[in-house]
């Protein structure tokens, strides 16, 4: 097949943005190429227009354009024209739900929307008021699709419900990892008492809840350390330009002395940080799946995760990880302290986490689910 992807991000040195959504797309398209499929990636919102081929993937960078009025409409029409002009023998286009980028487009290709996490979804989960403009764009955007894919049951069913879409058009396909790139040959080697959190510093990641947890943890285990990795962000609730500065205000003196913030680091350095951790903790309030959770499990780390909705697809509590509600800081403290004190438990949970990723999140397995679904949509 010749499959195309429309995205605002992709991990590549020539592309300005790269995040969890881009990583999930990259994992999939690189595996599709290995199986002989032809792939085109349209990346919008870029600094310049460019076309290049890398690892047999054709990239089209579509520069962001400025308009005096109606940019939300005219830029989408510009992307539509670009894709229709350059569609060649492409059989199908996949696009994200976020921002409703496909709103107003009349594409000459079958369209699949993958629920990476819309503003509509996150506002609902976080109980935030959504801007009417964003809601309108996303509603129009998803209505252009012939079918939908979601990475977890919760994210898919909730998104279909919020957009009032027929659930028989939904397929659940987990994100996949190239597990051969996730190897931890010495899982028993780590920095004792080191807690790691990876992700953008933003309320929905549960960073304030994690500070509360660590304030309590350091009281009972003074050797504890907490490391944050990820870009800082503004805070919608307070208007602050830095969530990190707000987090520091919540730290006790003892906790602050044991907390490090490394900022956003190169993706190829993240694995090393995961391997150094004693426990990886992700008390997120809003995700569709959470790539760092399964990446940590693939590296045989003991993970203490959120228990909200989507997490039920990732972890079997007490078997290959642990789950608690982000607001239950006492439960997090108890579980982390238990792991600190039990090296055999850490290794057992880590090994079971690796098995879980091999069973459900191996890109070499999930890729075939994607191909079969693509073919079924093209045949309609």
Residue 36 DSSP class: T
Task: Please check whether residue 100 is in contact with residue 142, taking contact to mean a CB–CB distance below 8 angstroms.
Answer: yes
The CA-based angle 346-349-354, given to 5 degrees, is 120
Residue 259 belongs to a domain with what CATH number?
3.40.50.2000
d(CA 318, CA 61): 45
Q: pTM for the full model?
A: 0.91
The verdict on 154 and 196 lying in the same domain is no
DSSP 314-331: T--BTTTBEEE-TT-HHH
Nearest to 75 by CA among 38, 55, 56, 100: 100
pLDDT for position 17: 72
Q: Cα dist. 372→50, 109, 160 in Å?
A: 31, 18, 21
Per-residue 3-state assignment (H helix, E strand, C coil) for 58-91: EEEEEECCCCCCCHHHHHHHHHHHHHHHCCCCCC
Host domain of residue 149: 2-176+362-378
The verdict on 46 and 188 lying in the same domain is no
The verdict on 212 and 348 lying in the same domain is yes
| Residue with the two structure tokens 């880590």 | 350
The verdict on 355 and 370 lying in the same domain is no
Checking 345-348 for CB contacts under 8 A at 24+ apart, the result is 345/302, 346/278, 346/279, 346/302, 347/187, 347/188, 347/300
The verdict on 196 and 158 lying in the same domain is no
Helical (H) or strand (E) element with 375: helix 363-378
The verdict on 190 and 124 lying in the same domain is no
The verdict on 107 and 253 lying in the same domain is no
Q: 50 — phi, psi (to 5°)?
A: -165, 155
Tens of each residue's pLDDT in the chain, 380 residues: 999 999 999 999 899 777 788 989 999 999 999 999 999 999 999 999 999 999 999 999 999 999 999 999 999 999 999 999 999 999 999 999 999 999 999 999 999 999 999 999 999 999 989 999 999 999 999 999 999 999 999 999 999 999 999 999 999 999 999 999 999 999 999 999 999 999 999 999 999 999 999 999 999 999 999 999 999 999 988 999 999 999 999 999 999 999 999 999 988 899 999 999 999 999 999 999 999 999 999 999 999 999 999 999 999 999 999 999 999 999 999 999 999 999 999 999 999 999 999 999 999 999 999 999 999 999 87
Question: 363-378 vs 20-34: helix axis angle to the nearest 10?
Answer: 80
The verdict on 308 and 191 lying in the same domain is yes
pLDDT for position 325: 97
Task: Please check whether residue 324 is in contact with residue 335, taking contact to mean a CB–CB distance below 8 angstroms.
Answer: yes
Nearest to 138 by CA among 167, 165, 111, 101: 101
DSSP 90-149: --EEEEESGGGTTTT---SS-EEEE-S--HHHHHHHHTPPPPHHHHHHHHHHHTT-SEEE
Q: Is 8 exposed, middle or buried (0-12, 13-18, 19+ CB in 10 A)?
A: buried
Task: Please check whether residue 92 is in contact with residue 5, taking contact to mean a CB–CB distance below 8 angstroms.
Answer: no
The verdict on 183 and 133 lying in the same domain is no
Tokens found for residue 143: 């209505």
Helical (H) or strand (E) element with 210: helix 207-220
Strand 50-54 and strand 57-63: pairing?
antiparallel
The CA-based angle 125-128-131, given to 5 degrees, is 115
Q: How many domains is the chain built from?
A: 2
The verdict on 165 and 304 lying in the same domain is no
The verdict on 356 and 368 lying in the same domain is no
The verdict on 149 and 75 lying in the same domain is yes
pLDDT for position 20: 80
d(CA 82, CA 103): 15
pLDDT for position 267: 82
Q: 94 — phi, psi (to 5°)?
A: -110, 135
Residue 15 DSSP class: S
d(CA 164, CA 293): 30
Secondary structure of residue 279 in the 3-state scheme: strand
């Amino acid at each position: 097949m010749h499959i195309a992807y429309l995205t605002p991000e992709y991990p590549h040195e020539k592309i300005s943005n790269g995040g969890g959504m881009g990583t999930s797309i990259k994992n999939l398209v690189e595996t599709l190429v290995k199986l002989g499929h032809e792939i085109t990636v349209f990346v919008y919102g870029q600094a310049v227009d460019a076309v290049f081929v890398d690892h047999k993937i054709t990239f089209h960078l579509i520069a962001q354009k400025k308009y005096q009025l109606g940019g939300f409409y005219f830029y989408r029409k510009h992307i539509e024209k670009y894709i229709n002009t350059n569609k060649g023998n492409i059989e199908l286009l996949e696009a994200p739900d976020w921002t409703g980028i496909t709103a107003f487009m009349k594409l000459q290709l079958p369209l699949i929307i993958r629920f990476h996490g819309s503003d509509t979804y996150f506002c609902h989960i976080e109980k935030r008021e959504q801007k009417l403009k964003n809601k309108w764009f996303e509603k129009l955007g998803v209505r252009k699709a012939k079918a939908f894919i979601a990475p977890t049951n919760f994210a898919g069913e909730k998104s279909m419900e919020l957009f009032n879409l027929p659930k028989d058009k939904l397929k659940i396909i987990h994100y996949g990892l190239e597990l051969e790139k996730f190897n931890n040959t010495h899982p028993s080697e780590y920095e004792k008492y080191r807690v790691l959190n990876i992700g953008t510093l933003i309320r929905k990641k549960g960073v304030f809840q994690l500070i509360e947890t660590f304030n309590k943890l350091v009281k009972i285990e003074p050797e504890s350390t907490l490391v944050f990795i990820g870009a800082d962000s503004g805070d919608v609730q307070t208007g602050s330009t830095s969530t990190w500065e707000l987090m520091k205000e919540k730290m006790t003196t003892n906790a602050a002395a044991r907390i490090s913030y490394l900022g956003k680091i190169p993706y190829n350095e993240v694995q090393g940080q995961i391997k150094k951790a004693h426990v990886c903790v992700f008390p997120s309030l809003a995700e569709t799946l959470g790539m760092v959770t399964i990446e940590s499990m693939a590296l045989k780390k003991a993970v203490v995760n959120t228990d909200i909705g989507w997490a039920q697809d990732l972890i079997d509590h007490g078997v290959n990880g642990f789950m608690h509600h982000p607001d239950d800081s006492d439960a997090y403290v108890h579980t982390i302290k238990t792991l600190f004190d039990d090296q055999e438990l850490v290794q057992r949970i880590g090994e079971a986490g690796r098995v879980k990723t091999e069973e459900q999140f191996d890109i070499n397995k999930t890729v075939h689910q994607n191909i079969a679904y693509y073919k079924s949509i093209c045949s309609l």
